[in-house]
Structure 1
Amino acid sequence: MSSTPANLWVLLGLGIAGILIMTKRLKKTVKADFGAFIERLQLLPPPQPAPPKAPHPLSGLSFAVSDVYDIEGFVTGFGNPDWSRTQDPATQTCPVVAALVDGGATCVGKTVVDDMALSVSGQNKHYGTPTNPTLPARVPGGASSGAAVAVAAKLVDFALGIDTDGGVRVPADYCGVIGFRPSHGTVSMTGLIPVSGSLDTIGWFAKEPAVLRRVGHVLLQVPYAAQRNPRNIFIADDFFQSQKIPAERITQAVINSVEKLYGRQVLRQDNLGGYINLKVPSLKAFKDKQLNGEVKSSPLGFLANVMQKIKRHEFRQNHNKWINAIKPTLDPIISAQIAGDADLTDADIEKLHTIRSELRLAINAILKDDGILVIPTCSDPPPKLGAKEIFSEDYLLRTSSLSSLASISGCCQVVVPLGVHEKCPISLSLLARHGGDRFLLDTLQAMHASLQEQFVAAAKPTSSPKAISQESSAEMAKEKGNQAFKEKQFPRAVGFYTEAIKLNSNNATYYSNRAAAYLEMGSYLQAETDSTQAIDLDKKNVKAYLRRGTAREMLGYYKEAMEDFRHALVLEPNNKRAAQSTDRLKRWFQ
């Protein structure tokens, strides 16, 4: 009898030891690549050009691509083993990937996508579901789940995905990273497996807005130009109030951020659902016997239904021949999606496309060239892995409903992570009209740090007011910027320096410091502008001359750069940096 308790303790000890061993093994597996990659490879950029040519714009960055992008010599898998088994290796690399490699970035692998890129949960029964680094017990979001996870886990600097009905935006929200969907048709889809041609775009993820923007300049083929501030920022109040997220905290963060950066006069708060009903008359006439419940009967619910019908119809046009011939092993959710809406007539399709045209006109009319629309990214937090709700049509419609605005209208959208609420990532989305991609990327760059700071501040209890002068507040903001700069958090530094300038616009140091942060981010035009402002305020600001000279050199204005370095030498004859820069430019151009 006395030995029984001892035996139990031994068994209990062995059981605990086994659990600890399995936990360690699991941690090692997760730490390897979080299940993000399906295949490792390496595409190296060309050598750097010799001076005086500028370095490659994406030098030093690594990236991964979702397994819908062709890479020469590799099979493009489409998230399904039967597809992989029946396809030949690609004979050439997708132009988008090639452009990024030529731009100086290194491609390191292919990442997991949902089965045939049709889901929004991020789960893949064939290859396993990538682990959400922010919330390991919850889904990462799809279809571009692996790409979002690779960025969130800091395995790469940026990653490419595909976005049809939220395939980049949903995982960006779930994983707490920045995700960008460009205007439909602005970036070539050649060399990608199509899901739904009239909805598909490429998309990309990053943790830093500067990286997202650098990638955008390469893929959108837009030159650096003076940044434009938005004149109207619309907050869709009704969309925020109907979501299971801390709506008031988010909208207050937007309001506070906009007031500090641009002033109250640019803010507009409105009922976007009512506007859509008014401006998209074909949507009001759109009926479906299966539509019921609050989600499906709202304007966004109708739009989500329109989007799903278009997606399924065009997917069958692209791939039904292969599906009927191969009879692949598909996820039951995917099989149901493919089979859905099979009885649509040509007249039905024409009605759906009319809704698309009316929505694009409506979005473009309200935003024009200088407007930004603020909406939630997703309706709800990410579900738990294996949750029953993931397998429902209601989850698909609710999760993709907010994505339907950009998918159907074709406008561009960026997901901005704000922070965490009840352990779940929280984001909002900024939208600009179709073709306003550079304007949207510039606005993100300007607002990113401020939005995050205001979201954190909105959670803090209101403290008693203190009589602090504007000059003192500006100095405090500058010191915060200096600390962020030291920590290499350059976008945050820009936000703090901008706040200091708002409080005291006559201090040359604030402009000069912000110029230094812009230089680190590769924003050379902004750096030149700030340096010039600093020099106008203080003709003896040596650092401002050095920073303007550096910015002008990177922009290719070599004569003007040499003049700035020489002026710095006049002010400080022993300044080594000015002397070295002057000598270097002399050797190149004299």
Structure 2
Amino acid sequence: MRDPWNAFMPYPGSDVRHAAIGPLSGFRLAVKDLFDVAGYPTAAGNAAVLAASGIKTSTAPLVQTLLDAGACFVGKTNTDELAYSLVGGNIHFGMPINPRDPDLIPGGSSSGSAVAVAAGLADIGLGTDTSGSIRLPAAVNGLIGWRPTHGSLDNRALRPLAPSFDVPGFMTKSLEPMAAVMSAVGMPAANDRTPSILIPEDIFATIDDAVTDEMIASLRSNGMAVREVGSISSLSLDELAWAFTTILQREAWESNRSLFERSPQAIAPDIAARLLTGSLLNGGEVQEASRIREHFSREIGRLFAENVLVALPTLAVRPPGRDTAPQCLATFRSACIKLLCLSGLSSCPQLTFPIARPGGNISLSLFGKRGADRMLVDVAQRLRVE
């Protein structure tokens, strides 16, 4: 397969069989190179991990479920190193090219899966989302992105980054294949009660006013009950982002400590610096971050008991160019984490999708209670998202 977008890892092909008939028949599947697939190595975006990998003899259960449902495997995809970034760059294997706008970053860390779908090389992009690694590249590439309820999908034979936040998830060009994927992986059907949609004023205040107006107008134009609220939490976005980042850094260090201590020179300097930051956190900081997470989870649980969904802008700022200076990329990541951390801290699902606006699409998200994954798609269909 010709891949001018650098979406796929350059591995020799190996026969990966799939069911001839099933709910995913006819759909091509691209798999992030964090999941084991029999006949292929798993590099996790790092040359040292690739060298130590060997050829896997079994396939991750979630990938096998998709194959058994009829999806056709078309390759393993590029990822940010150790899945520890939101940008899409990789010093070992290169940055995939954003088919929607080649001058912009592709977003990460599920960069290759997003680019494969956006470029028409795959219909389903399997990735992972820890701090936004599906939602952000989906937004940048104009795709539907689904971060499932934490713990709802099988994550065996998947290389971890921060286990209490890591989830496998998917990207598609439209809602039809996303709904089919949800059925294939066993997500329960939504109840028949139509939820209302909350618009948190403090969150929408963080983005451009014109974009806010267009998002809210899009929500109100479809006849659903929509109401604005001041906030969904007593905690500020800064406090939530700090708690999320603290826990993420500690868990990322623990997941990659052996690699760092064995081959620190094999890790890109910016990734190594973030790992080292996680190693220096003290117990008090992590304990306070965990307390904030628990408090926020309780608040969100009470909120979602009222049969509501929360509408969110997916990104806080416009995606930067692929040649943007590292410090500016770090600023971009920090801004985006303030919005992307909410579903991670609460373990709740989020669905990201493009909505039309003059001058190009923008990305909106629906955020719901644990287990409400199918409801997010049902509501998006009512909003006529395609």
TM-score using structure 1 length: 0.62
CA 1:369 to 1:210, structure 2 compared with 1: closer, same or farther past 3 Å? farther
Is the 2:317–2:332 Cα contact (8 Å) retained in structure 1? Answer: no
Q: Matched residue of 1:246: which SS?
A: helix
For the residues of structure 1 that align with 2:203 and 2:280, how far apart are their CA atoms? 32
- 5+ residue gaps in structure 1? 1-28, 49-55, 281-298, 450-490, 492-590
Question: Deviation at 1:180?
Answer: 0.2
Is the 1:301–1:397 Cα contact (8 Å) retained in structure 2? Answer: no
Q: Matched residue of 2:254: which SS?
A: helix
For the residues of structure 1 that align with 2:338 and 2:77, how far apart are their CA atoms? 26
1:43 aligns with 2:43: no
CA 1:41 to 1:132, structure 2 compared with 1: closer, same or farther past 3 Å? farther
Question: Deviation at 1:222?
Answer: 3.5
The equivalent residue for 1:249 is 214
Give the counterpart of 1:404 among 341, 364, 386: 341
The equivalent residue for 2:199 is 235
1:359 aligns with 2:316: no
CA 1:388 to 1:402, structure 2 compared with 1: closer, same or farther past 3 Å? same
For the residues of structure 1 that align with 2:4 and 2:367, how far apart are their CA atoms? 32
Question: Deviation at 1:42?
Answer: 4.7
For the residues of structure 1 that align with 2:184 and 2:307, how far apart are their CA atoms? 22
CA 1:302 to 1:233, structure 2 compared with 1: closer, same or farther past 3 Å? same
Q: Matched residue of 1:129: which SS?
A: coil
Aligned AA (2:367): L
For the residues of structure 2 that align with 1:175 and 1:403, how far apart are their CA atoms? 17
Aligned AA (2:69): G
- 5+ residue gaps in structure 2? none
For the residues of structure 2 that align with 1:136 and 1:390, how far apart are their CA atoms? 21
CA 1:35 to 1:418, structure 2 compared with 1: closer, same or farther past 3 Å? same
The equivalent residue for 2:233 is 276
Give the counterpart of 1:444 among 376, 380, 384: 380
Q: Matched residue of 2:3: which SS?
A: helix
Percent of aligned pairs sharing the same letter: 30
Question: Deviation at 1:429?
Answer: 0.4
Question: Deviation at 1:44?
Answer: 2.7
Is the 1:42–1:106 Cα contact (8 Å) retained in structure 2? Answer: no
Question: Deviation at 1:421?
Answer: 5.1
Is the 1:210–1:445 Cα contact (8 Å) retained in structure 2? Answer: no
The equivalent residue for 1:481 is none
1:165 aligns with 2:122: no
For the residues of structure 2 that align with 1:239 and 1:135, how far apart are their CA atoms? 27
The equivalent residue for 1:536 is none
| 1:336-347 superposed matches below 5 A | 336-347=273-284
CA 1:189 to 1:360, structure 2 compared with 1: closer, same or farther past 3 Å? same
The equivalent residue for 2:117 is 151
CA 1:341 to 1:94, structure 2 compared with 1: closer, same or farther past 3 Å? closer
Aligned AA (2:7): A
Aligned AA (2:200): A
Q: Matched residue of 1:313: which SS?
A: helix
The equivalent residue for 1:141 is 107
TM-score using structure 2 length: 0.93
The equivalent residue for 1:178 is 144
Q: Matched residue of 2:247: which SS?
A: helix
For the residues of structure 1 that align with 2:327 and 2:227, how far apart are their CA atoms? 35
Structure exhibiting the larger radius of gyration computed from Cα positions: 1
Aligned AA (1:276): S
The structure, 1 or 2, with the larger RCO (C-alpha pairs under 8 Å, 6+ apart) is 2
Is the 1:227–1:442 Cα contact (8 Å) retained in structure 2? Answer: no
Higher share in helix = 1
For the residues of structure 2 that align with 1:428 and 1:173, how far apart are their CA atoms? 8
Q: Matched residue of 2:233: which SS?
A: helix
Is the 1:63–1:105 Cα contact (8 Å) retained in structure 2? Answer: yes
CA-to-aligned-CA distance 1:268-326 (integer Å, 9 cap, x gap) = 10122xx412xx5xxxxxxxxxxxxxxxxxx2222222212111111111221121112
1:370 aligns with 2:307: yes
Question: Deviation at 1:68?
Answer: 0.4
CA-to-aligned-CA distance 1:240-263 (integer Å, 9 cap, x gap) = 232136111111111112x2xx3x
Count, aligned residues: 383
Q: What is the root-mean-square deviation of aligned Cα atoms in Å?
A: 2.0
